[in-house]
A and B are shown apart, each in its own frame.
Chain A
Amino acid sequence: MTSSPPSLGASVSVSPGVRIKRMLLGGGPLVVLLLLLIFFTFASDTFANPGNISVLLTQLSILLVLGVGLTFVILLGSIDLSAEGVMASSSLVFVLLATNDRNDFQFGILAALAGVLTGSLFGLVNGILHVRLGIPSFMVTLGMGAVGIGIATVLFGGRAPQLLDQGLRSLGVDKVFGVSKLVFLAALVLVIAVLIQRYTRVGRYGYVIGGDEPIARLSGINIKKYKIYSFVLSGTGSGLAGVMAATQLGVGDPTIGLGFLFPAITAVVLGGTLLIGGRGGVLRTLVGAAIITVLANGLILIGVSIYIQTAVQGLVIVIAVVASGWSLRRRVRVIK
């Protein structure tokens, strides 16, 4: 035995080799995104035009807001499938409270807030039903999604109410510095989400609960509370997405969210947030959402036949998931 206690110093910090390797592997989605950007820039004359970049950013914004909210729930290892129904309800609540062609309400920005809070309320109910009654999240949220469509259908009453508040309409239609105002809103949401994830209990405990729920429980963490909070964040994201879509389309509509849910989940997973929870984050969702948006846009620009676009899109996504998730495959050791 030596006189001084042996130390573990040698292997305490991660070696640079490992760090670079992990960055490459963990940054897989980013690499995929860069490759797509390079490919489309060369394959299409218009892809990198300022006009198309503005279009790309606009198209990214709603998907991003939706995906960012969803990330908080997926980090828990749960899922939120209610987005389409929540967007439907929130768009109608918003439009019917703002200046519209149906009634005399003119609550302006408060109407937008009400739309967003409608989403938060759905998230709260999702969370409470899931956590308190122990119903699997996919069932609860699927059901609440249907409730959302139902409420929206009642509010819709046969025809879509139109948003006539010009200030709010401007959010979805007008541009600042060449890009839609929605883009700035989405960027703000992303920043807030990063702060929540990095600096709040909801964010940090999301990783802990998703990573190892029994340990979280043994540490005396109120798991139920933080799970509910995460569902509220997800619902709020969906609510805001519904409001954003309404400002863009100028109507509140029960079908406004159709076609958004699957791309949003794909964006989260593609970015590298694991469906089993514990690993990932909202910045990764940005990358995932960008891949999906670029792909849809780029395939149209290079003139891929509409009959095979969906297949090509699916193929690229599978390749991207495989490329970015390969390193995790071994670490997680669960393939289901």
Chain B
Amino acid sequence: MSFSRHTGQSTRRRLVTSAAVFTVAAMALVGCSSAPEDASAGATGAAADVEIVESVRSLSNSYHANWVAGGQLFADSIDKELVVITDEADSQKQLSGIKALAASGKIYALNVDPNTSSDTEAIVRAVTDAGGYVVTQWNKPDDLNPWDVGDHWVAHISFDGTVSGKEVSAKLFDAMGNEGGIIAIQGILDNTSSKQRYQGLEAALAEAPGIELLDQQTANWSRSEALTVTQTLLAKHGDAVKGIWAANDEMALGALEAVKAAGLEGQIPIIGFDAVPQALEAIQSGTSGFVATVSSDAFWQGGAALSLAYKAAIGEIKVSDLSHDERAFYGKQIIVTPDNVGDFLSTPAISDLQADFDDPFGRSQGPIN
């Protein structure tokens, strides 16, 4: 379990991490006899009694760091402390961290990125048992929906990679003059977003007769692995490679390094997903060959979704009144190109997101089928 309690002074916040670990651990010890009152009855709390929590994989990737920063903006907007649980991609650790939240006795609002689809059910059940309110993102089993579990699972938000995948692939093909061979680097193969994004590529390929998919490999979302794989593929296909498609920016950046080392920087267009800062800078530079990425707006994911859970926890939103379309919806994704990259390079202010905090459904692109 690793907790950190964010105080708002973001530059110093990580220094207090270890102290917070002890605080929460101590709470866990003391609190075991005082489980939250009336946990099963769907009680909501006064704003002062509600704790707001983000659960993400780690702070060592910029996507989740931005996510937490968005959560911090929301916390600042309502003047509360933000609790962050990181699990370093360990599902068991994520679940036990969430279970330990119950020990404080407070009602909590949780915004979580479950490690895998199969973790989601255990997480929402644990939150339901503890009387908290949770919004999940990205991963859930297809046949499990919030209304099947109850009012404590407020909503699930995901992003349709098929749509964004097709759009961003088209940007890649445009940069290639709609002609030539590409190589594709996938993420972890059985991962939903990896699959959807790749389906998007296939859809785009079907409409681009001049583009040939030369090869596809996996680099497990890793920058180092993508570097290695791209090196090998460049050696295999040589000059035939006119474009590189990567299922996330980390891998696209690894591919970019392989291209640089091969002395081809700027000559091979590259696209990725997630809009991590370095990818944005590469797009902005205009010389790297990195032509586009996709942003799901991690700040929004961290802030607006937390706001949704919080509103349910304090009773401002009555979950039972929400429609199915509102409880499982796709969020908005934006294709980032040199034209609009400037908008994404700065950290937003509270004012930029206030409208989304007030209306968490504002960016809905429709229900998840």
Contacts and interface: CB of A to CB of B under 8 A. Distances in A.
Interface of A: 44, 46, 49, 51-52, 54-55, 58-59, 88, 146, 149, 152-154, 156-160, 162, 172-175, 180, 245, 248-251, 253-260, 296-297, 300-301, 303, 306-307
A159 B65 contact: yes
Contacts of B88: 146, 149
Given A254-B58, A300-B217, 6 more contacts: A58-B261, A59-B228, A158-B69, A249-B257, A300-B215, A301-B236
A173 B262 CA distance: 8
B186 interface: yes
B89 to A, nearest CB: 10
Interface in B213-235: 215-218, 220, 222-225, 227-229, 231-235
Interface in B250-283: 250, 253-254, 257, 260-261, 276-278
A254 B58 CA distance: 10
Contacts of A258: 222, 224
A296 B260 contact: no
Contact of A248 (B69, B225, B261): B261
Contact of A255 (B222, B277, B278): B222
B257 A296 contact: no
Contacts of B260: 173, 250
B236 to A, nearest CB: 5
A248 B223 CA distance: 11
**Across the A-B interface, the 4 shortest Cβ-Cβ residue pairs:** A254-B60, A158-B65, A52-B235, A153-B60
A159 B224 contact: no
B217 A160 contact: no
28 contacts: A46-B235, A51-B238, A59-B231, A152-B60, A172-B261, A248-B257, A248-B261, A249-B223, A249-B227, A249-B253, A249-B257, A250-B260, A251-B223, A251-B253, A253-B223, A254-B60, A255-B61, A255-B222, A257-B224, A258-B222, A259-B225, A296-B228, A300-B215, A300-B236, A301-B232, A303-B215, A306-B186, A307-B189
Contacts of B60: 88, 149, 152-153, 156, 253-255
Nearest to B62: A159
Contacts of A180: 261
Contacts of B58: 153, 254
Contact of A259 (B59, B66, B220, B231): B220
Nearest to B260: A173
B14 interface: yes
Contacts of B229: 300
Contacts of B235: 46, 49, 51-52, 54-55, 301
A159 B277 contact: yes
Nearest to A46: B236
A24 B347 CA distance: 62
Contacts of B227: 248-249
Interface residues of B, number: 40
Give the interface SS of chain B, mostly helix, strand, loop or mixed.
helix
A160 B224 contact: no
A303 B278 CA distance: 32
A182 to B, nearest CB: 10
A144 to B, nearest CB: 15
Which of A54, A59, A159, A303 has the largest number of chain B CB atoms within 10 A?
A: A159
Contacts of B216: 306
A38 B217 CA distance: 24
A259 B224 contact: yes
Contacts of A88: 60
A249 B278 contact: no
Contacts of A154: 14
A158 B224 contact: no
B62 A160 contact: yes
Nearest to A54: B235
A307 B190 CA distance: 10
B256 to A, nearest CB: 9
